[in-house]
Amino acid sequence: QEQLVESGGGSVQAGGSLTLSCGHSDYTGRCMAWFRQAPGKDREGVAAIYMGDSSTYYDDSVQGRFTISHDNTNNTAFLQMTSLKPEDTAMYYCAASRLSRSLCLSVPAGDFIFWGQGTQVTVSS
């Protein structure tokens, strides 16, 4: 069972930046993603990366502000978040699954098998 370990969450003021990390050990698939879930809301896909060709997906709400990447040497995925807004406040989850490129980049939460424990991001105005 692949384990994903997230870190990097915290509290920042609006306009600030945070970088989330997601370490993994034995995962050999090509698809990783970040999801978030705010209280009372459904889990939503924020960003995804297909490592076969480094293609990425971003939700419109974070396009231009968030960057997903993966360090193949250290088996770590990152989510760099800039210009943070109060509406970005949520629990953020790293996820991975052996999906095709097209499916990966559509970030279907139900098709992701491996999940991290979540890391809280709080943005104050």
Instruction: For Cα atoms 52, 55, 60, give the angle at the middle one, nearest 5 degrees.
Output: 150
CA–CA distance, 123 with 125 (Å, rounded to integer): 7
Task: Grade residue 53 by pLDDT with cuts at 50, 70 and 90.
Answer: very high
8 A C-beta contact, residue 115 and residue 43: no
**How much is the pLDDT for 1?**
72
pLDDT of 2 > 80? The answer is: no
Q: What is the largest CA-CA distance in the chain?
A: 40
**How much is the pLDDT for 17?**
98
CA distances for 117 relative to 6, 22, 85, 101, angstroms: 7, 10, 23, 25
- Give the pLDDT mean for 44-64: 97
Residue 48, phi then psi, degrees to nearest 5: -145, 155
Nearest partner of 90 among 41, 26, 48, 125, judged by Cα: 41
Q: State the average pLDDT for the chain.
A: 95
Nearest partner of 108 among 54, 53, 57, judged by Cα: 57
The dihedral through the CA atoms of 115, 52, 19, 22 has a sign that is positive
